[in-house]
Amino acid sequence: MGKVRFGLIGCGKIADCNHIPEILSLGADEAEITAMYDIKPGKAEALAEKHKLSPKFCRSLEEILSLDIDAVMIATPNCFHYPQTIAALNAGKHVLVEKPMASRVEDADAMITLARRKKLVLQVNQSLRFIPLYATIKDLIDDGAIGKPLHARCLRTSVSSPDVGWSPGATWFVKKKYEGSLVTDIAVHMADVLQWYFGPVRKVQAITRNLLHEVPDNVTAMFDFANGATGVLELSWTFPSGYGALELYGDKGAIRMLPDGSGIELLPAGGKPGKVIKGDDLPKMPNSHACFVRGIREKATDNWAVGRGALALCMAIIEANAAGAAVKPKNRRSR
């Protein structure tokens, strides 16, 4: 197989700062953006000009899926992930879909079943998994740097929702109809990271609030990990002042993300001096798109697994809030 020819569906903020740069980083012999489509006229053209791309511009989903391309990247609002993935798989294209994979675990399972039947690769762009600093925390924990995991704490608060800060005007992020929310936007990353570090979550308790929006914009969730550790996830789009913390505690030490996110501090037990590891000093690692292309070349069958696990946690947070009781995440039994 030569270079992988991609169609890009949805030409907004994440296409601009993640999908296009990551494809370009692979080199023209490995991957190419052959076609682009956005429902809003002019957006694909503007993004192509910015990144010096010369794709075919399409006027509909059907048109881009009818082209002789190998794969698509789906970077549209959440409510389109499921139907556009199903359409793309039915058209014989490998799919790299944005997180959240879908808005219901049943839809995610239908996507997986179809990908398996068609022998196509399905991957979810859980982008934190490909950031060296986050991967280094995983390696440290697996190497025993903090000993037996005891507790994880993650705080992510901001003064506004993404339609104000991240992608100005993208109001779908806070609309029920488009399946946006703080759970599907941020918990989908941070709950996934905590599960990556400490292993499966057996029960979730949660309180969500819709303070300024029609969807959850404040989330507090507690995780009961299968290994006996506990975890707390605190998220907000409405705090008066934003802040971030990621802390992993074990019986032999702790890891803390520096407040500005530029590095981590590894703290041995007993108050001994810590060691700082800066993100800029870490070697680069293959990005999400490199992983997807490798998956296509090697006929991978389970690249969807991380996204499916993250979605199960998100849905458990929503269900636990509604039930006022602990909920077991609906993890998929088999790959």
Residues that bind ligand NAD (CB under 6 A): 9-15, 37-40, 43, 75-78, 80, 98-99, 125, 127, 166-167, 170, 185
In the complex with ligand NAD, the residue whose CB is nearer, 205 or 208, is 208
Interstrand relation of 201-209 and 263-268 (parallel, antiparallel or unpaired): unpaired
Task: Between 188 and 267, name the residue whose CB sits nearer to ligand NAD.
Answer: 188
Name the residue nearer to ligand NAD (CB basis): 39 or 114.
Answer: 39
| DSSP state letter for 284 | P
For 91, residues 6+ apart whose C-beta sits below 8 A from its C-beta are 65, 66
Give the CA distances from residue 279 to residues 132, 224, 288, 293, in Å, rounded to whole numbers and listed in that order.
7, 29, 18, 25
| Residue 60: count of CB within 10 angstroms of its CB | 10
Give the nearer residue to ligand NAD in terms of CB position, either 307 or 329. Answer: 307
- The whole-angstrom separation of Cα 145 and Cα 218 is 32
Let me know: does 113 contact 334? Beta carbons within 8 Å.
no
Query: Which CB, 119 or 177, lies closer to ligand NAD?
Result: 177
- Closer residue to ligand NAD, CB minimum distance, 125 or 205: 125
With residue 204 as reference, give the H or E element that holds it. Answer: strand 201-209
Q: Closest approach of Cβ 129 to ligand NAD, in Å?
A: 10
Residue 17's alpha-carbon distances to 13, 75, 166, 268, 273, in angstroms, are 6, 11, 11, 37, 37
Q: How many of the other CB atoms lie within 10 Å of CB of 16?
A: 17
CB atoms within 10 A of CB 266: 18
Provide, rounded to whole angstroms, the least separation between the CB of residue 167 and ligand NAD.
3
In the bound state with ligand NAD, the residue whose beta carbon lies nearer, of 147 and 286, is 286
Residue 156 beta carbon to ligand NAD: minimum distance, rounded to whole angstroms: 13
In the complex, what is the shortest distance from the CB of residue 41 to ligand NAD, in angstroms, rounded to a whole number?
9
Q: Measured from the CB of residue 72, what is the shortest distance to ligand NAD in angstroms?
A: 11
Q: Minimum Å distance from CB 149 to ligand NAD?
A: 25
In the complex, minimum distance from the CB of residue 171 to ligand NAD, in angstroms, rounded to a whole number: 9
CB of 192 to ligand NAD, least distance (A): 11
Residue whose CB is less far from ligand NAD, 3 or 43: 43
Q: Which residue is nearest to ligand NAD (CB)?
A: 12
Minimum CB distance to ligand NAD smaller for 65 or for 266: 65
What's phi and psi for 230, nearest 5 deg? -120, 165
Secondary structure of residue 207 in the 3-state scheme: strand
| Other CB atoms within 10 A of residue 29 CB | 8
Per-residue 3-state assignment (H helix, E strand, C coil) for 11-75: CCHHHHHHHHHHHHHHCCCCEEEEEEECCCCCHHHHHHHHCCCCCEECCCHHHHHHCCCCEEEEC
Question: What is the three-class DSSP state of 154?
Answer: strand
Cβ neighbours around 106 below 10 Å, total: 11
CB atoms within 10 A of CB 309: 21
Q: How far is the CB of 43 from ligand NAD (least distance, A)?
A: 5
